[in-house]
Structures are given as structure tokens and as C-alpha cells.
Amino acid sequence: MSGHSKWSTIKRKKGALDAKRGKMFSRLSKEITIAVKEGNSGDPEGNPRLRLAIQNAKGSNMPKDNIERAIKKGLGGDVESYIEQTFEGYAAHGVAVFVECLTDNQNRTVQEVRAAFNKCNGSLGTNGSLEFIFDRKGVFSLPLPEDMDQDEFQLEIIDAGAEDVVIEDAFITVFCQMEDFGSLNKKFEELGLSLENAELQRIPNTTKDLDDEGFKEVMKLIDILEDNDDVQKVWHNLEVGDGQEELLEN
């Protein structure tokens, strides 16, 4: 699974540089609320999607009060009806971009996403047009415990369905097939390990290298999309070259 480790690290570092914590908490709250509503339960023990949403919220240091408010909102009768919507297209320089949304107004979301692509010299494609570029994988990330027996951990987690385990920079990233996501998540719970994040990601099997100007042009589109309240996740196959991480701060 060459390249996945670096790509995951890039996403993690970009997340660490992201100062928009309020936006992040808003997305996490929305996922918790939807999980409660769709599962007809505010009990994470009987609601797997809610359990995962709470787990990710805690991994992002979301305050307990925020989590409880999101659960209460989901249990109320006045929750907006959100629809999951995805968009596929290309940014400038042929960089593939996959956008996942939760929206209560599909027309508004379509208009705003299309406008973002057009503004940044990109173009929207049809659903399914990027299937050959992205693989859907389960990805788990957590800090490396100091007292962990790494060999034993890797054997256990591979037996539970892990496809690849990467340990670097005192951080563990575990990849699995989409269908093994649930069982592997339970394995982490059994091992008593606190995950920073667990989700189904769209992993690019090919990446694009650009010079600094091209990189900034593509990241402008990514930033506009990530600022949209309806957008939950943005996946792309842009590779971050040496020294370009600093450009994410600007």
C-alpha cells in the first residue's frame, strides 16, 4: 500500500494546521445528530454509527457538552432532514476531487459546489467518474502507546482484518478493506486503545505532483469547499511536495 502512509500523514498534518476548530466541531455535531436520528437512539451501545461519531468527536477533543447537545438535538423532533450527497470532479491541473456532503437543500449545495469548481478553473464530472482513482478503505489512526509491543499489536490487528499497519513518527495508521471496518473497530475497543480517528476514506491510488503555484491554485478550491457548511469531507489526489506543507499555513 505504498503512498498511503504519506498521504494519511499529509491529511493529519493539514488537520493539525487547521485553525477552524468551530467548523470541525460543527461537522462532528452534524454527524452525531444524524446518527441519532437515523438510528432512532441516543445510546451509542446500540447505535454503531453514533458510537463511531462520538469516538471521532472525542479524538478531535470536542467538548463533552457539545457532544451531549448534538445527541439531544438528534432526539428532538425538529431536526432538519439531511441528505447525503457526493460530487466528483477535477481541480486545475487534472487533480481529482471527491466531495462528500450532508445537506438540507440539494439545489443550494449543487450550485455552491459547482460555483467553487468554476471559480478555481475546475470542472464537475458525473458520479462514478473517479472510481478508478479512489479506493474506499477503512482508516484508523492513534498515537503510539509507549508500552506497546508493536510486533504483537500488528499480529493481532492483522488477524482482525487489517490490510496494512504503518507506524511512524510515534503514530499508528491502520488500513483495511471497507467490509472489515466494523469488525476492526471492535477489535480496537477490545484492546482498550483510544483512537484519534476512524473513518472510511477515499484513498487515491495515483497522485499528482505540482509546482508551488499549481499547488496553491488547487488548495484554493479545497479550502473553499471545506469552508462550505454542507461539505463534510473533501478527498483529492494532490501530492504535497517538499516544502509545500508550509504553504498550507498561508
| 184/146 same-domain check | yes
Q: Which residue has the higher pLDDT, 129 or 244?
A: 129
Establish if 223 belongs to a structural domain: yes
| 67/102 same-domain check | no
With cut-offs at 50, 70 and 90, classify the pLDDT of residue 169.
confident
Number of independent structural domains in the chain: 3
* pLDDT higher than threshold 70 for residue 2: no
Report how far residue 80's alpha carbon sits from residue 103's, in angstroms, rounded to the nearest whole number.
9
CATH at 193: 3.30.70.980
Establish if 173 belongs to a structural domain: yes
- pLDDT number for residue 9: 46
Per DSSP, which regions of the chain are E strands? Answer: 83-90, 96-103, 123-124, 134-143, 162-168, 171-177, 197-204, 231-236
With a pLDDT cut of 90, the percent of the chain lying above it is 58
| 144/25 same-domain check | no
Establish if 2 belongs to a structural domain: no
Question: If you average pLDDT over residues 29-36, what whole number do you get?
Answer: 90
Establish if 7 belongs to a structural domain: no
Q: Which residue has the higher pLDDT, 181 or 3?
A: 181
| 25/68 same-domain check | yes
| 47/18 same-domain check | yes
Establish if 1 belongs to a structural domain: no
Cα 195–chain centre separation:
14
Question: If you average pLDDT over residues 45-66, what whole number do you get?
Answer: 90
pLDDT digits (tens, 9 = 90+) for 33-48: 988 988 888 898 889 8
Report how far residue 110's alpha carbon sits from residue 132's, in angstroms, rounded to the nearest whole number.
23
| 156/59 same-domain check | no
- Using alpha carbons, select from 176, 179, 182, 249 the residue that is nearest to residue 219: 249
Establish if 39 belongs to a structural domain: yes
Establish if 199 belongs to a structural domain: yes
With cut-offs at 50, 70 and 90, classify the pLDDT of residue 240.
confident
* pLDDT higher than threshold 90 for residue 89: yes
| 123/89 same-domain check | yes
What letters, b where the CB count within 10 A reaches 16 and e where it falls short, cover 170-204? Answer: ebbbbbbeeebbeebbebbeeeebebbbbbebbbb
| 119/230 same-domain check | yes
With cut-offs at 50, 70 and 90, classify the pLDDT of residue 151.
very high
* pLDDT higher than threshold 70 for residue 210: yes
| 200/212 same-domain check | no
| 124/219 same-domain check | yes
User: Which of 54, 75, 96 is the C-terminal boundary of a domain?
Assistant: 75
- Which residues span the domain enclosing 194? 134-204
| 128/211 same-domain check | yes
Encoded amino acid at 34, one letter: I
